[in-house]
Amino acid sequence: MTRAEGDQWLWGSKSCPDADEFYVLRPQLRNWFGIETNPSTHSVPSIPILLVGTLFPSSSLVFDVFLNNPSAASLPLLIVYKLTGFLSPLCFKGYDKLTEAEKIEWNNRGFSTFHALIVASASFYLLLLSGLFYEDSQDELIINRKSIVSNSVLGISVGYFLADLSMILWNFPALGGLEYVLHHGLSMYSIFLSLISGQGQMYILMVLFSEATTPFVNLRWYLDVAGRKSSKMYVCNGVLLFLGWLVQSKIPNS
């Protein structure tokens, strides 16, 4: 299925003017999100489409699976969440002794770490290795530069923040208070704005690169809950957390 055919299939009309950047919602999905949009003027991409459509911009899988089931866009995060809960008892005998709230947060930090590793690595590549944002690599202004990879990273992050915010609200306030809701809301808004406008992605990627320290923050929590706060691993992790923060704060400015 071509992109033009997909647009016609979605809207029941000819190709949408925004098809080069995003897939748009089918009528029932627009109703699901409470969005009323005229395809002849502009389109509003859904969160699932941002997460998956950017990864597979020419795949009919986007139409056949994810448009029929919006929740499927969170499938990778759900898999990591479930895998964390499955593997943790095998690696840590005290997992079964945790309270239900601690198990939820334990698993939640699993897909938090997964997201951090992906976006931090991708941001490092895009900012320093790809040449996308090198001053003389393109005639286009740096603020307007983007690529399929950068769109994918931003789309994945929107999906992550949406999934994490859903868990925070569902278990409120066990996983975080109003400050977390505000943080995630502003993060989604800024990333979403950059994604649909195609502008300022370099600055968003600089912020996402700071996720490089998240695995150390999560490991610190894991060791604390496991009763290993006085261990050498806890101290080493603290040192690596400081060094990681120092490096990630300097690299984007280099």
User: Nearest Cα to 142, choosing from 189, 202, 85?
Assistant: 202
pTM: 0.71
Cα 219 to Cα 225: distance, rounded to the nearest angstrom: 10
**Three-state secondary structure along the chain?**
CCHHHHHHHHHCCCCCCCCCCCCCCCHHHHHHHCCCCCCCCCCCCCHHHHHHHCCCCCCCHHHHHHCCCHHHHHHHHHHHHHHHHHHHHHHCHHHHHCCHHHHHHHHHHHHHHHHHHHHHHHHHHHHHHCCCCCCCCCCCCHHHCCCHHHHHHHHHHHHHHHHHHHHHHHCCCCCCCHHHHHHHHHHHHHHHHHHHHCCCHHHHHHHHHHHHHHHHHHHHHHHHHCCCCCCHHHHHHHHHHHHHHHHHHHHHHC
Cα 1 to Cα 6: distance, rounded to the nearest angstrom: 6
| pLDDT at position 11 | 41
Q: Is residue 3 very low, low, confident or very high in pLDDT (cuts 50, 70, 90)?
A: very low
Judge residue 178's burial from the number of C-beta atoms within 10 Å of its C-beta, 0-12 exposed, 13-18 middle, 19 or more buried.
Answer: exposed
Cα 254 to Cα 248: distance, rounded to the nearest angstrom: 10
User: Nearest Cα to 92, choosing from 219, 230, 213, 216?
Assistant: 219
On average, the pLDDT of the chain sits at: 77
Structure tokens at 240: 């690596």
| pLDDT at position 126 | 95
Instruction: Assess whether pLDDT exceeds 60 at residue 85.
Output: yes
| pLDDT at position 253 | 60
| pLDDT at position 79 | 87
Percent of the chain with pLDDT over 90: 55
Q: pLDDT tens digits, residue range 144-180?
A: 999 999 998 998 898 899 889 999 999 999 899 999 9
Q: Is residue 137 very low, low, confident or very high in pLDDT (cuts 50, 70, 90)?
A: confident
Taking residues 208-233, report their average pLDDT. 94
Taking residues 20-39, report their average pLDDT. 42
Instruction: Assess whether pLDDT exceeds 90 at residue 63.
Output: no
* Residue 168, number of CB atoms within 10 A of its CB: 20
| pLDDT at position 206 | 93
Better-predicted residue by pLDDT, 30 or 236: 236
Better-predicted residue by pLDDT, 147 or 48: 147
| pLDDT at position 246 | 87
Task: Report CA dihedral (114, 116, 118, 120) to the nearest 10 degrees.
Answer: -160
Cα 115 to Cα 110: distance, rounded to the nearest angstrom: 9
| pLDDT at position 55 | 42
Percent of the chain with pLDDT over 70: 69
